[in-house]
Amino acid sequence: MIPRSANADQLVAGSSLIGIGTINAVLEEKQIGGYGVDGQLIPAEDGGIPVTDFDVRPETVLKSDGTIVAREGFVLRMHGHTNNDPAIVSPAQFELPSVGDRLLFALGRNPGGTFGSGPEGPLDISDSFVKFADGAPFAIRIPTEQLLDDILELSGNDSSPTQGVVQSHADSTGPDGGLTEDEFAILLTVQDVTSLLSSDVEFESEIRDAKAMAAGVDASQVVNIDSWYMFSLDSVDPDRGLTFTVMDFDSGASTLDHYDIAAGDESGLVAMDSPIGDASTSIDVNSNGIGGMLAFVVGDKLVSIYTTGWGDEPLLALSDIEALGKTVLSRL
């Protein structure tokens, strides 16, 4: 825990990493015993120190030691828990950031590779003047643009920061009215998937513009689709994977029309008793290289998640796929 910075000089001097990014997900809430002299975590005693690990997707890096670059996520560890459990006593009472928050992060490095901060680390740059993300005012009234320029100059960085106001993904649109690739990319991450696995698996991941691919074959296939992106994860040994897609249509009616076709009787999909979103359907196959499958509708978007894998065990159980679906729904 360090004092809140009074100006750009203190902010740059006291930070290992400064960048603009978005809280992508809550990875874990746990209690730790601090760090030993060897940099390893000490077992928690008497309840330990409550911490929350966040996955952050940086869009612009203003200061770094070279280990973090734009578009590559990092883990932010902050004191306290987001669930406000009365049984957990936080050493510092302040509001933690939320998934979807776009902030300026000024952070220190923890042993083990995570980045740490108290309330002084995340700053709100959505308005003309800077304030801390928990609402506390910056020591001096400084315009957001000036602070970013000062940080760049003091850190010797020639990059140009990207300005913007935090928006709900449901209201954010690309040039044609659909989700942008950046907005799609934070809906489901590699970390979301690996957090559900019982063992470490190394994946290759890729995001593809499925609308452009389909239009190249037959433009009539995408006439009612504003955007359509596909995120795939594939492991080599064993050969297993997951595919996540979001089709963003021009209207809710177009979405439901496509959903009715995709989830028809011949698909084998079964409507869920407790639907995800406006309507959802799923199936657990687990044979011939196919695992489980989930599709759901939210507004004008059709979301699907399915797994592949050879052998007796799919990459994830259907219950885990449904958990991922709820994660995506919370970020839309």
Write out pLDDT tens, residues 253-285: 999 988 888 887 777 788 888 889 899 999 888
15 band by pLDDT with thresholds 50, 70 and 90: confident
Q: HSE on the CB side for 314, CA within 13 Å?
A: 23
Tokens of 159: 């990059």
Residue 160 pLDDT: 52
161 band by pLDDT with thresholds 50, 70 and 90: low
Start-end of H helices in the chain: 8-13, 144-155, 181-185, 190-194, 210-217, 252-262, 318-331
Residue 304 pLDDT: 95
Report d(CA 126, CA 133) in Å as an integer: 10
Residue 30 pLDDT: 83
Residue 166 pLDDT: 33
Write out pLDDT tens, residues 115-153: 887 667 889 988 888 888 877 777 778 888 888 888 988
Residue 91 pLDDT: 46
CA neighbor of 25 nearest in space, from 188, 201, 244: 188
Taking the CA atoms of residue 206, residue 310, residue 247 and residue 70 in that order, the dihedral angle to the nearest 10 degrees is: -20
Q: Phi/psi at 41 (nearest 5 deg)?
A: -70, 140
Say yes or no to pLDDT of 171 above 50: no
Say yes or no to pLDDT of 169 above 70: no
102-109 and 115-117 beta bridge pairing = antiparallel
Write out pLDDT tens, residues 287-325: 666 788 999 999 999 999 998 876 657 788 889 999 999
**How many Cβ atoms from other residues are within 10 Å of residue 243's Cβ?**
16
> 191: which DSSP letter?
H
Q: HSE on the CB side for 130, CA within 13 Å?
A: 29
86 band by pLDDT with thresholds 50, 70 and 90: low
38 band by pLDDT with thresholds 50, 70 and 90: low
> What residues pair up with 287 in beta bridges, in sequence order?
290
The better pLDDT of the pair 80, 267 is held by 80
Residue showing tokens 């952050």: 56
Residue 165 pLDDT: 34
Residue 162 pLDDT: 47
What are the structural domain ranges in the chain? 8-155, 181-331
Residue 28 pLDDT: 84
This prediction has a pTM of 0.50
Report d(CA 47, CA 53) in Å as an integer: 17
Residue 297 pLDDT: 93
Which superfamily does 181-331 belong to? PknH-like extracellular domain (3.40.1000.70)
**What does the mean pLDDT of the chain come to?**
80
Q: What is the CATH number of domain 8-155?
A: 2.40.50
**How many Cβ atoms from other residues are within 10 Å of residue 240's Cβ?**
23
Within 8 A by CB and 6+ apart from 145, the residues are 163
Mean pLDDT of 222-229: 91
Secondary structure (3-state) at 50: strand
The alpha carbon of 184 is separated from its chain's Cα centroid by a whole number of angstroms, namely 10
Residue showing tokens 């839309």: 332
Report d(CA 3, CA 14) in Å as an integer: 10
